[in-house]
């Protein structure tokens, strides 16, 4: 049995996050995790959350559905199958591990399919429903690479609409469906990554490593506001420091993020 223990790396690896800036923090600049509220609106047994279509037992209304670890999480590829991945209960930053739920994998709601923050992007696995609690967030983040804009929706309402910097053609920002893994409080508000960063479950499609990390993608502030609106990063999404401060106080872990 292959067991893969997953955890976010310290900022020196992560917030080069798949690639953001050549000016990266040193080990002594690594931030601690900012304390945030739980990413869900409730802490509920998995079987009590999510509407099912009786004609398709696997269908789940997964809009904004977040699975929160109650301990270490073992993941499988088929219900009752051998463990193929293991996730710790908390990330390297000390925040509870969360995963974005996609559907029920069985009619009895004993197994839940989740997005997993590993390569390749879009990897899914199954988790026992009794090893997580579920809740729902009404927030979602949409990033339009062609328009170079980031929009935060709360249900049908738009609450943030802002210009962003994206990856260059050589190091593009990867498209796909992801979620926020961590909200990081950077110690140097004037640094390359601004006062805050949101770690995403996405990884660069072209950089296997960057600055000692594994090419994780994030949304962060910048000390180069002139780069906003341009294709300027190694894959991360840059916003103004004012916006990232707003997002850090608004976006909970587990919030779905679509990059298109």
97 close to 38: Cβ distance less than 8 angstroms: no
Based on the residue annotation, tell me whether 220 is a catalytic residue of this protein: yes
How far apart (Å, rounded) are the C-alpha atoms in residues 133 and 71?
A: 10
Q: For the chain, how many helices (H) and strands (E)?
A: 2, 20
Q: Which of 20, 203, 220, 234 is catalytic?
A: 220
Q: Which segments of the chain does DSSP mark as H helices, in order?
A: 11-14, 241-250
Buried/exposed code over 15-50 (b: 16+ C-beta within 10 A; e: otherwise)? bbbbbbbeebbeeebbbebbebebbbeeeeebeebb
The residue with tokens 């960057």 is: 210
Q: Which of 20, 203, 234, 236 is catalytic?
A: 236
* Catalytic residue IDs: 220, 236
């Amino acid at each position: 049995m292959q067991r893969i223990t997953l955890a976010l790396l310290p900022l020196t690896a992560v917030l080069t996050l798949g690639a953001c800036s050549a000016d990266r923090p040193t080990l002594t600049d690594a931030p601690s995790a900012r304390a945030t509220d739980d990413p869900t609106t409730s802490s509920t047994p998995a079987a009590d959350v999510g509407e099912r279509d009786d004609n398709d037992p696997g269908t789940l209304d997964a809009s904004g559905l977040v699975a929160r670890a109650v301990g270490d999480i073992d993941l499988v590829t088929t219900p009752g199958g051998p463990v193929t991945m293991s996730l710790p209960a908390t990330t390297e930053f000390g925040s509870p591990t969360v995963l974005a739920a996609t559907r029920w994998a069985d009619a009895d709601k004993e197994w839940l399919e989740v997005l997993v923050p590993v390569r390749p992007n879009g990897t899914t696995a199954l988790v026992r429903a009794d090893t997580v609690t579920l809740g729902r967030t009404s927030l979602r983040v949409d990033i339009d690479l062609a328009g170079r804009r980031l929009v935060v929706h709360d249900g049908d309402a738009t609450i943030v609409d802002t210009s962003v910097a994206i990856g260059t053609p050589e190091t593009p920002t990867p498209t796909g469906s992801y979620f926020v893994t961590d909200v990081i409080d950077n110690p140097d508000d004037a640094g390359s990554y601004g006062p805050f960063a949101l770690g995403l479950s996405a990884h660069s499609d072209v950089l296997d490593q960057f600055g000692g990390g594994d090419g994780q993608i994030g949304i962060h502030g910048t000390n180069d506001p002139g780069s906003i609106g341009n294709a300027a990063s190694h894959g991360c999404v840059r916003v103004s420091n004012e916006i990232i401060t707003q997002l850090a106080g608004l976006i909970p872990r587990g919030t779905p993020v679509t990059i298109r």
